[in-house]
Structure 1
Amino acid sequence: MYLIKLSAITLFILLTACFVAVEFSIVKARRSRMNQLIQEGVKGAKAAKHVITHLDEYLSACQLGITVTALGLGWLGEPTVRALIQPLFLKTGLHETVSHVLSLIIAFLLVTYVNVVIGELAPKSFAIQKAERITLLFARPMILFYKLMFPFIWLLNHSARLITGLFGLKPASDHEMAYTEEELRVLMAESYRSGMIKKSELHYVNDIFTFDKRTAKEIMVPRNEMVSLPLESGSGRILRDIIKTNKYTRYPVVKGDKDHVVGIINMKEVLFRFLSEGAAFTKHELSPYIQPAIHVIETIPIYQLFVKMQKEHAHMAILIDEYGGTAGLVTAEDIIEEIVGEIRDEFDTDETSSVQKLSDSRYILSAKLLISDVNDLLGTEIAADQVDTLGGWFLTQHIDAKPGSTIECDGFTFTVKEIDSRYILTIEADKAE
C-alpha cells in the first residue's frame, strides 16, 4: 500500500516538474526561432509556435497543472510520509502526542523540500537553459492537455481578466517580444562576449543602427575635393591628365564651375568605345557619354538616398545646399562603407586612414571625421551646432587656425598638423597626462 502511495507522490512531483519546465520554456522560447525551425522542417516546431503564440491559454494550462499536482501532493504526500516516520519516534519511547507533532513537522518539511527542489527549482533552471528543446518536446502534450481541460482553463482565464479589468488592465494581444534599439545593442554585445557572434558582425549591426541617422552631408566628398571633368576644355589632353591622375570610374561633368553639374560620365563606356572604334578622347566626344545626375539636398538621410540611387541605377549623386549650389557628391561606395567599413581598391594605396592611432592616448585624426565619431573614439563631449566635422569645430573655436594651433578640450589637446590654405587636413589629439 505504501509503495503505491510513494509511487503516486513521485508521479505528482514529476508532473509538477514538467508543468514548471514547460511554463518557463514557452515564455523564454522565441517565435522567430520557431519560424526558422518550421522552415527547416523540425518535428514539433509548428505545435511549439502555436503554444508560444497563445501564451495566455497555455500559461493558464501550466498553472492549472501545477496547482492540481500540488494539491494532490499535499493531500497524499504529508500523511504518507508522516505514517512512515511516526512509528520510528514511538519506538524511541516518546509520547504519542510528541511523536505525532514531530512526524508531522518533519513530513511537511521533507515533502516541501523535495517538491521545491525537484518539482520547481531544478526544472526552472533546466528550462531556462534548454527552452527550445523543452518547448519542442512538450508542445503537443500541452495542446492535448489544454483541449482536455478547456472548460476549466476558459473559466480561470475569464475570471482573471474580469478581475484585472477592474484595475483598467487589458489582456495583451501579442506576446512576441519587441526590443528597442538600445536593448538590441546590449543583446548583441552580450552575444559577442559569450562567443555567439564575431566582432565584425557586432560592428556591422551597430553601424546599421546608426545608418538611418546619418545624412548625406556627413559622408559626402566635399565640393573642394570633387574631381570633375569640364564639358568644354581646350584639348583632350586636359581630360586625359585628369583621368590618369585620379583613376576614378565615374566623374561629374561640369559646365563652367561645380555649381553646374550637367551629368555623370562612366570611363568604362568611354574605354569600350575607344577599344572598339579606336576613337580619340576629345572635348567633341564627351557629350555622348554623359548620363543624367541625381541632384538631392545635402541633408537627405543616407538610407533614403541609397533607395533613390537603387531605383535609378545610379552610383553617384550630387548634393546641393539650401541655396542651390553644389555642396559635394556621394557614391554608392561611400554609403556602403557606413556599414562594412572602409573599402579600398588597387588605386587607393595613397589613402590614409581617418584615424591613426599612435598610442593609447595619441591619435592623428582626419579633419573630416565627424564630431560624433570623435566623441565615441576619445570619450569626449565635443558639441557644435553649426558644423559636423572635427575640422569645422576647430575653425569655430580658432578662426585663424594654422599648423601648430591648439585647443584644450575634455582632457585632450587638439593640434593642427596639416592645412591646405584655409582647409584643415589632419589634427592630432593628445590626452593630457
Structure 2
Amino acid sequence: MDVLPIINLLAVAVLIALTAFFVMAEFAIVKIRSTQLEPHIEVGKKSAIAAKRIITHLDEYLSACQLGITITALGIGRLAEPTFEKMLYPVISYFNVSTGMVTTIAIAISFLIATFLHVVIGELAPKTIAIQKAEQVTLFIARPLVWFYRLLYPFIWLLNGTARLIILAMGFKPISSHEETHTEEELRLILADSYKSGEINQSEMMYVNNIFEFDERVAREIMIPRTEMVYFFKKDSLESNMDVILEGQYTRYPVADEDKDNIIGLVNLKEVLTGYHQNKHVTIDQFIRPILHVSEATPIKQVLLKMQKDRIHMAIVNDEYGGTAGLITVEDILEEIVGDIRDEFDEDEIPDVQEVNDKTFIVSGKLHLEDVNQILGIELVDDEVDTIGGWMFTTNLDAQEGVIIEYENHRFIIEEMDGYQIKKVKIIKP
C-alpha cells in the first residue's frame, strides 16, 4: 500500500491548520485593544505580556503573519493538488474519456478542492472566529507568534524593511501600533451602534452624549435668566426676606446691594434660619458669603472647576457691560449631564418639552435651539440668540400671544408670554 498520499494529506491538514493560525493571529492582533489586555497583565499572565508586545510592534508581527500565510499557502499548493490529482486519476479513468481529458479533469477538481479547503477552513472560518473572540484568540496565539517571529526574524526584517521603503516612497507612514483615535462624531456612531445592539442602555448613551455636549456649553446657555432670579436685598430686614424664602424655597439666595446688577454675595438658608432662631434682630449682612462672577461666554466646565476649587455653589453670569445676565448653580451644571434633577419642591415644575401628540409639542421659551433641532430634525440657526423664544423674537419683532411663524413647513405659535418674555411655544410638525 502506498502511504505517500496519506502522509501528504496529513501534511496538507497541518499546513491548513497553520494557515488558520496565522489568519486568526492577523485579524485578532489588529482588532484587540490594549485595555483588554491590562487585567491579564496585572495578574502576571505571560500570554498577555506577549500580546502587549505584539500590538505595540504591530507592523513587524503583521509581517510575520503574512510570511506565515504565504509559506503555508505555497506548501498547500505544492502538496495538495498533486496528491488529490493522484487519488482522483483512477476514479476518473473508469469513465470513457481520453487520457488527456482525465488528467485535465483531475487537475481541475484537485485545484477546486485545495482552494476550497484553503479558503474556507484556512481563512474565512478563522477570520470570523478572530473577529468575534479577539481577546481569547490573541492570548492563544501570542506566545507561539512571538517564537515564530524570533525564528524567522532575518527574513521578516528584510521583507518588512523593503516594504517600509516602498511605503515611504509612496508618501505613507508605517504602522507602529493600532491604537487609533476617534473623532467625537465617530464615537457617537459607535455609541449608537452599541445601543442598537444592546451593549449599552439608553441612560448610558444619554450620559455619554451629554458629556460631549457639556464640553461645548457656555454659561449663557444654561443660566437662569435675570428675569427669573430670586434674590435678597441687603437693605431689607430678615423678616422682609422671609417672603422671598417662602416664594422660592431654595437653599441659597444671591444678595443684591441695590439692584440685580450689583450682586455682592450669597446666603445659605440654613445659616440664616439658625441665626434668626438665636436672635430675632439679626441682620443679613453677617451671613453673606462670596459668590462667583463669570462672563456669559465662560465654558461651564470651567465654571464647575471654579466652583469645586472655591467651594461655592452659585455663580452670577455677567454680560459684556458688567450687568447681571443670570445665575448658575451646581445643580444647573449637573443637569446638563444627568438630566433634570427634581426635588420635593419641583412637583409643579413643568418640563421644557411637552408632547401633546405625534405632531404637536409645547416647549419652554428657554429651550435651546440645538434641542429644538434635535426634536424636530430641522436646522434653526441664529448666531445672536440661543433659545426658541429668542429666535421667535428676532424673527418677529411684534411678537405676541397667538403669533404664528412658519419655518421649513413647521408652525411655531407663541402660546404664553410674560411681558416681553416668551414663556411657551407650541410647535406643529407638518
Same fold (TM over 0.5): yes
SS at match of 1:330: strand
- Residue 89 to residue 311, structure 1, CA distance change in 2 (3 Å): same
CA distance in 2, matches of 1:42, 1:203: 36
State the Cα deviation string for residues 56-82 of structure 1 (Å, max 9, x = none).
111111111111111111111111111
1:279 aligns with 2:279: yes
Cα RMSD after superposing both structures: 1.6
Residue by residue over 1:116-158, the C-alpha shift from the partner in whole angstroms, topping out at 9 and shown as x without a partner, is: 1111111112211111211111111111111111111111110
In structure 2, the residue matched to 1:304 is 302
Long gaps (5+) in structure 2: none
Aligned residue in 1 for 2:242: 240
Q: Deviations over 1:255-297 (max 9, x none)?
A: 000111111111122234455xx222x5x53122111111111
* CA deviation vs aligned residue, 1:306-338 (integer Å, no higher than 9, x gap): 111111111111111111111110011101101
Unaligned runs of 5+ in 1: none
Which has the larger displacement, 183-192 or 130-139?
130-139
> SS of the residue aligned with 1:309?
helix
Secondary structure at the residue paired with 2:220? helix
- Asked if residue 199 in structure 1 is aligned to residue 202 in structure 2, the reply is yes
**Aligned position for 1:404:** 402
The equivalent of 2:253 in structure 1 is 251
SS for the counterpart of 2:320 is coil
Aligned residue in 2 for 1:162: 165
What is residue 343 of structure 1 aligned with on the other side?
Answer: 341
Aligned-partner Cα distance in 2 for 1:40–1:212:
36
Candidates 208, 213, 216, aligned match of 1:210:
213
Q: CA deviation at 1:24?
A: 0.8
Distance in 1 (CA, whole Å) between partners of 2:272 and 2:427 is 45
Q: For 1:199 and 1:25, how far apart are their aligned partners in 2?
A: 30
Partner Cα separation in structure 1 for residue 149 and residue 274 of structure 2: 71
- Structure 1 counterpart of 2:270: 268
In structure 1, C-alpha distance between the alignment counterparts of 2:43 and 2:295, rounded to whole Å: 46
Structure 1 residues 406, 92: closer, same or farther in 2, change over 3 A? closer
Q: Which residue of 2 aligns with 1:388?
A: 386
How many Å separate the matches in 2 of 1:193 and 1:289?
53
Alignment-derived partner of residue 110 in structure 2: 107
Structure 1 residues 37, 268: CA separation in 2 closer, same or farther (over 3 Å shift)?
Answer: farther
Q: Which residue of 1 aligns with 2:122?
A: 119
1:95, distance to aligned residue in structure 2 (A): 3.3
- What residue is the counterpart of 2:139 in the other structure? 136
CA displacement, residues 379-427 of structure 1 (integer Å, 9 cap, x when unaligned): 2222222111111111112222222121111222211111111111111
How far apart are the structure 1 equivalents of 2:17 and 2:200? Answer: 37
Q: Using the alignment, how far apart are the partners of 2:176 and 2:27 within structure 1?
A: 20
**Structure 1 residue aligned with 2:18:** 15
Separation of aligned partners in 1, 2:319 and 2:403: 30
Indicate how the Cα distance of structure 1 residues 236 and 168 shifts in structure 2: closer, same or farther if over 3 A, else same: closer
Q: How much has 1:97 moved relative to structure 2?
A: 2.7
Distance 1:28 1:260 in 2: 59
The answer for the alignment partner of 1:324 in structure 2 is 322
Asked if the contact 2:210–2:337 (Cα under 8 Å) also holds between the matched residues in 1, the reply is yes
Offset of residue 32 of structure 1: 2.3
Q: Deviations over 1:328-378 (max 9, x none)?
A: 100111011011101011111121100011001111110011111111111
Match of 1:82 among 80, 85, 92: 85
CA distance in 1 between partners of 2:85 and 2:295 (Å): 84
Work out which of the residue numbers 143, 148, 155 in structure 2 matches 1:145: 148
Letter of the 1:228 counterpart: Y
Matched, 1:172 2:175: yes
By how many angstroms is 1:37 displaced?
4.4
CA-CA distance at 1:228 after TM superposition: 0.8
Distance (whole Å) between structure 1 residues aligned to residue 45 and residue 285 of structure 2: 60
Query: Quick one: which amino acid aligns to residue 136 of structure 2?
Result: R
Moved more, 41-50 or 55-64: 41-50
Q: Secondary structure at the match of 1:358?
A: strand
Residue in structure 2 matched with residue 222 of structure 1 by the alignment: 225
Residues 50-107 of structure 1 show CA distances to partners (whole Å, capped at 9, x for unaligned) of 2222211111111111111111111111111111111223344543333222212221
Task: Tell me the SS of whatever aligns to 1:79.
Answer: helix
Determine the C-alpha separation between the residues in 1 that align with 2:175 and 2:105: 48
Matching residue within 174, 188, 191 for 1:188: 191
Q: Describe the shift of the 1:232–1:105 C-alpha distance in structure 2 as closer, same or farther (beyond 3 A).
A: same
Secondary structure in 2 matching 1:44: helix
Greater shift, 392-401 or 90-99, is seen at 90-99
Secondary structure of 1:373's counterpart equals helix
Aligned residues: 427
**Counterpart residue type for residue 397 of structure 1:** T
CA distance in 2, matches of 1:383, 1:158: 53
- Structure 2 distance, partners of 1:289, 1:160, is 74
In 2, distance between residues paired with 1:41 and 1:369? 53
Deviation of 1:114 after TM superposition, in Å, equals: 1.1
Report the more deviating stretch, 89-98 or 195-204: 89-98
| AA aligned opposite 1:423 | Q
- Equivalence for 2:30: 27
* Alpha carbons 2:238, 2:283 under 8 Å: kept: no
